[in-house]
Each structure stands twice: as C-alpha cells, then as structure tokens.
C-alpha cells in the first residue's frame, strides 16, 4: 500500500463531516417523526350552537290570513312591531330555508322564493349587516337551490347562498340528548351569526305526521342522517333544543296535505291562505298542524318538543295576533 492510497487528512475530515452531518440529519428526522404510541382513539371536540332566541321580549305569534305571501309577511311584522324589533342594525342573519328537493316553487315542497326574498329585504332594511340563506338538501344541492328559485331570489335580494361543503360540518352534541351525540351538523354557516330565522312550508310527512319549522332543522344534519327516521319524533325533539331560532316563519298559503314531503302535483296542495310568524317554533307548528287538520296525537313530536322546553303547543296562551292581509 503506497502513500497515494492513503486518504489525506483534509479529505478524511471533509468526508467524516459529510457522513456525520448526513447521520445527524437522518437521526434527527427519525426522532422528529418518532411516534412511540401509535394512533390513539379519536378525541372528539364536540361543538354546540349558541342560543339565538331573542332575550328580553315575550313570546309572540302572528297568524295572517291572505293569499299573497309578500303582503302577509309585511302585515305580520307590522303587527309584531316591525322587523326592527327582531333584527337590530349590524346583525348577521342566517335564514334556514327548506330547499330539500329540486322541484319548482309552485309545487310547495320547498320554501317559497318570494318569502325568502322579502324576508332578506326586510332584514337588510332593518340594518342587518349580512344575510345568508342555507340548507343541506336531500337532492343535489345546486339543482335544489336553482330549481326552487330560492338561490336566485336570495341573491337578488342581497343575501349570500351557502351550499353545504364538507368543511361546514362539525360533530355536535345536544346536552342530555340520546341521538345527536357527536353527530356532524352543518355549523359552518352559523359562524358569527347573531340571528337565525327558520322558514318552512306546511307539509304532510308520512313518517312524522307533518314537516314544518321544527322538522326543517333536520336539514342541518349531516352524515347518514336518514337513520334518524327510526326514531323520528325523538330526533325532532332533540332538534328543537339543538337550535333555538330568533324567529320562525311558516308558510301555510298552500299546504301540502298529501304525498308529502315531496308532493309533485298541484293536487297535493290545498289553499289554506295562512302565514304564521312567531318566536315559539312549537306554537307556530301547532298552528300549522291545524291547517293540515291533524291533532296533537298524530304529531307526537310537538308534545315531545314542548316537554323538552322548546315552546308550547298551546298557542292560544301566547295571545296570537290574527289579521287579514291583501
């Protein structure tokens, strides 16, 4: 072995440094990514929705008779002391409509676009800083919002339309609830919201008896929500305390008396010419039940919601204002 085969000191140091650095990097990387425990069972940070009911005012209910939705709506709020008593300047309002099906508005399976646009306008007139309209429909969301006319109506009136996207859902637990425990709920649109309005049509519903403002909150549920049909009255009861709206608007101008909740034919509708606005969803739905000529016995979810503290089925106790519009 001649001296030319020997590595020079300088070379040795350089190569030793190189090897050392590489070793350090590899070891450092290994330590950085070291995971001694492996995957843990998921920890669910369940969120909850704030109470949006308006504090400091007593429960109110207005029943308007008339065929014109816009006029009825204006008259109702006039009788209740104006939209200003519900929506304050700078309020951020979320309107939960029923846009479950991709059917035209005339068929009454979804919230009527005229009501949506008029409510949005009135909110903005009262100084609302932001109005959004949302739902997580059963049919294709985009088709639903376009075909029902709700999307265009809301946008035209100045509201934002929020379609469901996977990021909007978070696991939610209703206190003391049996069904809504860590269940994905569309809470995204509620971010920064100060007032919530529920808007639904009066519809027949074969499983629950009727679909009105309480059943409408079903549309906030995500995941495999269909399984809750196994206990429909309890899920509506839990929904009634999961979300406490500022007010609800129930459209009973043309009630879907059969073949609900999809309808699909004009013969499924009956003119009942009634619009109900109130701060107690249970009372509002109880009025709606009378439009469908259904007794409380046929709609167990109403008394269950009352028992949970969501409102009262005895709507006469709220001294409803009855007026005729148009």
Instruction: Report CA-CA distances (Å) from 306 to 29, 212, 233, 281, 317.
Output: 59, 15, 12, 10, 13
Tell the smallest beta-carbon distance from residue 123 to another protein (Å): 25
Where do contacts with another protein occur on this chain (CB under 8 A)?
101-104, 138-143, 146-147, 163-166, 205-207, 224, 226-227, 229-234, 258-259, 261-265, 267-268, 297, 300-301, 303-304
Closest approach, Cβ 169 to another protein, in A, equals: 12
Of 246 and 262, CB closest to another protein:
262
**Buried-state track 27-57, b at ≥16 Cβ within 10 A, e below 16:** eeeeeeeeeeeeeeeeeeeeeebeebbbeee
The residue (of 137 and 245) whose beta carbon lies closer to another protein is 137
In this complex, which beta carbon is closest to another protein, that of residue 100 or of residue 253? 100
Minimum distance between the CB of residue 258 and another protein, rounded to whole angstroms?
A: 8
Shorter beta-carbon distance to another protein: residue 74 or 304: 304
The minimum distance between CB 51 and another protein, in angstroms, equals: 26
Decide whether 35 or 297 has the Cβ nearer to another protein. 297
CB of 215 to another protein, least distance (A): 11
CA angle 289, 295, 299 (to 5 degrees): 75
The residues near 101 (Cβ < 8 Å, ≥ 6 apart) are 109, 110, 137, 138, 139, 144, 148, 261, 262
DSSP class of 197? E
């Amino acid at each position: 072995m001649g001296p030319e085969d020997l590595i020079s000191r300088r070379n040795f140091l350089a190569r030793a440094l190189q090897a050392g650095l590489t070793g350090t990097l590899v070891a450092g990387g290994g330590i950085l990514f070291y995971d001694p425990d492996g995957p843990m069972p998921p920890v669910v940070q369940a969120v909850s929705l704030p109470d949006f009911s308006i504090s400091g005012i007593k429960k109110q209910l207005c029943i308007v008779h008339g065929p014109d939705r816009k006029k009825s709506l204006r008259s109702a709020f006039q009788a209740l002391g104006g939209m200003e008593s519900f929506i304050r300047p700078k309020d951020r309002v979320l309107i939960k409509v029923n846009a479950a099906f991709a059917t035209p508005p005339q068929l009454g399976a979804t919230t009527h676009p005229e009501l949506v646009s008029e409510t949005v306008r009135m909110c903005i007139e009262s100084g609302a800083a932001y109005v959004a309209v949302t739902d997580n429909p059963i049919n294709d969301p985009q088709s639903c919002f376009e075909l029902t006319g709700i999307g265009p109506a809301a946008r035209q009136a100045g509201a934002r339309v929020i379609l469901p996207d996977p990021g909007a859902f978070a696991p939610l637990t209703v206190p003391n609830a049996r069904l809504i425990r860590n269940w994905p709920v569309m809470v995204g649109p509620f971010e920064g919201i100060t007032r919530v309005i529920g808007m639904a049509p009066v519809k027949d519903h074969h499983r629950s008896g009727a679909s009105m403002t309480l059943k409408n909150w079903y549309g906030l549920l995500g995941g495999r929500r269909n399984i809750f049909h196994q206990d429909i009255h309890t899920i509506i009861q839990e929904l009634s305390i999961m979300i406490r709206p500022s007010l609800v608007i129930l459209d009973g101008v043309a009630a879907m008396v059969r073949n609900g909740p999809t309808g699909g034919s004009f013969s499924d509708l009956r003119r009942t010419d009634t619009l109900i606005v109130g701060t107690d969803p249970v009372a509002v739905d109880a009025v709606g039940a009378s439009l469908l000529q259904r007794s409380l016995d046929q709609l167990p979810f109403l008394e269950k919601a009352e028992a949970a503290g969501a409102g009262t089925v005895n709507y006469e106790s709220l001294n409803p204002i009855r007026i005729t519009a148009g």
